[in-house]
Amino acid sequence: MKRWIKIVIIVFIAALAGIQLVQPARNMSPQSSRKEISAGFSVPASAQQVIQQSCYDCHSNNTRYPWYANIQPVGWLLNHHITDGKHELNFDEFASYPPRKQYRKFKAIENEIQKGDMPLESYLLIHRDAKLSEDQKNILAAWCEAMRDSMKTHFPADSLERPHRR
């Protein structure tokens, strides 16, 4: 083998070994029962089961990590999805959101599953059991709809809807 090829390979392997030392912090925190969605809303077992199985890995404070999360840069990529996902929607913090945001997120959940954008495509490649069946989509949509209807009876309409804001 040519000397420069050997050097390139050695540098590559060393870099790969080096980045293994940079492990992102795990998304695993003790549950705070006061903030999770069930503290503020009734979550029927059927809906809870679906979100737990298909959404919680990126939208809660606890991720079930696959073994390859220990391998970088794969773990970094997962971490990125989890951080972004939680930032948009965190079922473990949901009860502490302001009502307008809760209302908006119930609508956003309906939109995302209707478009088929959630769970993320790359996640479904590995987690086939997280793919939503038509039944599961209907369960979630009906639940979100019911939650929004119930919010409308508790809050004045203009406090929940505000155009041009996410």
| For ligand HEC, the closer CB: 18 or 70 | 70
Element (H, E) at 31: none
> Residue 37, exposed/middle/buried by CB under 10 A (0-12, 13-18, 19+)?
buried
Stretch of residues binding ligand HEC (CB under 6 A), selected from 3-11, 25-33, 67-75, 115-123: 115-123
Nearest to 160 by CA among 97, 94, 86, 112: 97
Residue from 97, 112, 148, 155 binding ligand HEC (CB under 6 A): 112
Contacts of 152 (CB under 8 A, 6+ apart): 160
Residue from 85, 94, 103, 139 binding ligand HEC (CB under 6 A): 85
Stretch of residues binding ligand HEC (CB under 6 A), selected from 9-17, 34-42, 83-91, 157-165: 83-91
For residue 28, the cross-strand partners are 62
Question: Residues 13, 15, 17, CA angle at the centre, nearest 5°?
Answer: 70
Residue from 71, 95, 108, 146 binding ligand HEC (CB under 6 A): 108
Site string for ligand HEC, 119-138 (x = CB under 6 A): xx--x--------x------
Q: Give dist(CA 63, CA 85) in Å, integer.
A: 11
Q: Does 57 bind ligand HEC (CB under 6 A)?
A: yes
Tracing tokens 């993320």 back to the chain, one arrives at: 120
Stretch of residues binding ligand HEC (CB under 6 A), selected from 15-23, 26-34, 41-49, 55-63: 55-63
Residue from 37, 43, 69, 118 binding ligand HEC (CB under 6 A): 118
Q: Give dist(CA 105, CA 84) in Å, integer.
A: 15
Q: Which two tokens stand for residue 9?
A: 């390979």
Q: Does 147 bind ligand HEC (CB under 6 A)?
A: no
Q: Which residues bind ligand HEC (CB under 6 A)?
A: 54-55, 57-59, 81, 84-85, 88-89, 105, 108-109, 112-113, 118-120, 123, 132, 166
